[in-house]
Structures are given as structure tokens and as C-alpha cells.
A = this chain, B = another copy of it.
């Protein structure tokens, strides 16, 4: 009870420190991320793989409109988890930033540079009053100087670089799966399969292609490319991860997105 009352004291107005040095509004924003379905990023030598669970809540909803996978620039893709409308703001911010970089310097923005521009923007919303933090985590993947790079932004505005990571619902379990199974495999195919297996590991080992989205940024071409449903289905079939017909529709989880 007391702990609860104490917590409530910190959730109003601008983001401020609690007596033990925590920023509750930022931690609550992390909870908003967990309310979103999972997104996964895997880095291989041949490029970066981004995979997202879009879990469609109605058969009448167009899956393509559930925006969790975004092209930020030719060579950079972003997967998000959490509050969808907030994600859109950050994606727009990242796209404009990438565009400005091309205009100003005549070259594609670096993945790390872009990530840090985004996290600096996020941090402002945790320190200056009059607004709330962003309730979203991003996975930013791309090619920089011929190298695949994979970053995470969290609601505190901290940038991290990963070999492979998950954000959103079931992050803990999926991350554990990735740590046990990631072997730095060379090919994009290996990365795609690992991402799908990781997602399936928290879904009774079967997935519905309509409820997924997958993109790769190849090291060689430096091009962001999304797979279509048929391609995803093939991967699922080939790896024995394809769900039965109605599995997805029965999903009753209260999904933030």
C-alpha cells in the first residue's frame, strides 16, 4: 500500500526524481512499451533483419496499416514497439533528420548518428516540463561504412548497440532465446530464421504470416527491403513455424496497438 502511494506521488506534472533517484514517468513509459507487441532486430554479417509481431485484432483490419516497420532512409529501417502514435512522431523525426543529412552533407546519415539524434530528442521530453516522455522503443538498423549496425532507443533517451535484441511484450523471454541461439551467423537467411524462431518461442512455436512483418537491410546493396506475406509464409513453412488457420483471430490479449 505504502509503496503504491509513494509511487503515485511521482507521476504527475513534469518528470522528476523519486527519493531513490528514479524517474517514474520514464519507467511508466517503459511499461507502455511492454504493452505493445514484440519487435526484433538481428544483425548478421550480410545485413540487418527487422521482424515485428503485428497481431491483427480484426480480420477486417488491413494488416499493412499496423505500422511497426518503417523505412527511415534507403539504408536504414526502424521497428517500433509501444504507443503507436508516439512511434510515428519519432519516425517522422528520424526521416526528416536523414533527409536533412543528405541535403546538407550530400551523403547518407550514419546509423549511430541518426540514433543519437533520436535519443537526444527523446531525452528532452524526460527533463523539460510541459510534456510526457515518448512511450515507445525503436530498433534502428542499417548499413554504415559497409558495416551492418543495430541500435535501440528507449524512453529515457539512451542509445544501445546490439547484435540482436527484442523490445515490447515478452522482451525478457525473447531476449533470452536470442542470447541462447545467436551465433553471429553470416547470412541474412540465418538472421530471418532466428528472428522468426525467437518470436515463435513465445507463441506456442507457430506464427501467422499475416500477423508479421519482416525487413532486411543488406550489407552489400545497402537497401531496405520488406518481405511480402508469401515470402514470410515460405520461411515459416520451411522452419515448421506456420500456424493453423484461425490461431491469430482468437487472440484476446489486450494489445496497445
Q: Interface on A for B, CB 8 Å cutoff?
A: 4, 6-25, 28-35, 58-62, 64-67, 83-86, 88-89, 92, 116, 119-120, 122-123, 125-135, 151, 156-165, 175, 178-179, 182, 256-257
Contact B130 A130 (CB under 8 A): yes
| Chain B residues in 8 Å Cβ range of A119 | 85, 88
Ranked nearest first, the 8 interchain pairs of A and B with the lowest CB-CB distance are A21-B31, A65-B161, A21-B32, A85-B157, A17-B28, A62-B161, A85-B123, A129-B130
Give the distance to chain B from A245, nearest Cβ to Cβ, in Å. 15
| Chain B residues in 8 Å Cβ range of A86 | 123, 127
| Chain B residues in 8 Å Cβ range of A122 | 85
Contact B158 A84 (CB under 8 A): yes
Chain B, residue nearest A11 (CB): B16
| Chain B residues in 8 Å Cβ range of A128 | 130-131
| Chain B residues in 8 Å Cβ range of A160 | 61-62, 65-66
Would A32 and B25 be within 8 Å (CB), given that A130-B130, A162-B61 are in contact? no
Contact A120 B132 (CB under 8 A): no
Contact B33 A21 (CB under 8 A): yes
| Chain B residues in 8 Å Cβ range of A10 | 11-12
In angstroms, Cα B135 to Cα A120, docked, is: 15
Give the distance to chain B from A25, nearest Cβ to Cβ, in Å. 6
Contact B25 A120 (CB under 8 A): no
Contact A116 B129 (CB under 8 A): no
Give the distance to chain B from A14, nearest Cβ to Cβ, in Å. 7
| Chain B residues in 8 Å Cβ range of A22 | 32, 35
Chain B, residue nearest A150 (CB): B62
In angstroms, Cα B22 to Cα A86, docked, is: 13
| Chain B residues in 8 Å Cβ range of A125 | 127
Give the distance to chain B from A157, nearest Cβ to Cβ, in Å. 4
Q: Which of A21, A120, A122 has the most CB of B within 10 A?
A: A21
| Chain B residues in 8 Å Cβ range of A62 | 160-163
Contact A132 B15 (CB under 8 A): yes
In angstroms, Cα B89 to Cα A157, docked, is: 10
Contact A13 B11 (CB under 8 A): no
| Chain B residues in 8 Å Cβ range of A84 | 156, 158
In angstroms, Cα B18 to Cα A28, docked, is: 6
| Additional pairs, 16, CB under 8 Å, beyond known A13-B14, A61-B161 | A8-B9, A15-B132, A17-B31, A20-B31, A21-B31, A21-B135, A23-B83, A59-B179, A60-B165, A60-B182, A61-B165, A62-B163, A84-B158, A85-B123, A88-B116, A89-B120
